[in-house]
Amino acid sequence: MGAIETSEIPVDVAARHAQTLGDAPRIAPLKQAEMGADDLALCIAIRESVGVFEHSRIPDYMLTMIKHPELFRCQMEMGTVLFQGRIGARERELAVLRVGYLTRAPYEWGQHVAIAKRYGLSDEEVERVTRGSAAAGWSAHEAAILRGVEELLGDQCISDAIWAALAQSWDEAQLIEFPMMIGQYVATAYLQNSLRIALEGENTGLIRR
């Protein structure tokens, strides 16, 4: 099949928002007051790992996922591993944004625009992510990260050429982490899109830059 190209994924933002956000979530989130102390502590740990230190309002996504406590805990713990992982924060967010755009995931894209900017991506770079690995301006390593995402989503495998390019900068642990990280955020996009998790705060979905 080969890698996904941006031209193969037309994004009609209004239609996609209608499809993946709808009029209301498919599963109502739990009320924050109903959360257990351990679950609240885990949510706070995850939020602080991405630079958020205000916890008076836990996001609806977390309050929805807690309805499946076992899955919620596993997903949050994997999120902690990845945010404290071997791949640098800027590189991680570059990859996650490409996942969010190619899966046309309003919640994931919008949330990670804000996170990516906290780790140094500019407005112009966020916009450039929508054009993918072939866009002018990326370093060779950044282009390889974006291309790796495109190959994983398009062919479910990283090519020899991109693996070799990534291996010039990453060690074996980082190379192991990369496809696992992409899979985690693809799964998250599937879940958020299908449950129609509502956008919150400054998250404007796929139009956010």
Structure tokens at 57: 């309002």
pLDDT score for 8:
59
Distance of alpha carbon 6 from alpha carbon 204, whole angstroms: 21
Q: Which fold has domain 88-207?
A: AhpD-like (1.20.1290)
196 CA to centre of own chain: 16
Domain ranges of the chain: 23-83, 88-207
What does the pLDDT profile of the chain (209 residues) look like in tens digits? Answer: 677 765 556 789 999 999 999 999 999 999 999 988 988 888 888 788 777 888 888 999 999 998 998 898 898 889 888 888 999 999 999 999 999 999 999 999 999 999 999 999 999 999 999 999 999 999 999 999 999 999 999 999 999 999 999 999 999 999 999 999 999 999 999 999 999 999 998 999 999 99
Distance of alpha carbon 33 from alpha carbon 59, whole angstroms: 13
pLDDT score for 7:
54
Residue count (the chain): 209
pLDDT score for 209:
94
Interior angle at CA 177, CA 174 and CA 179, nearest 5: 120
Nearest to 42 by CA among 70, 8, 3, 14: 70
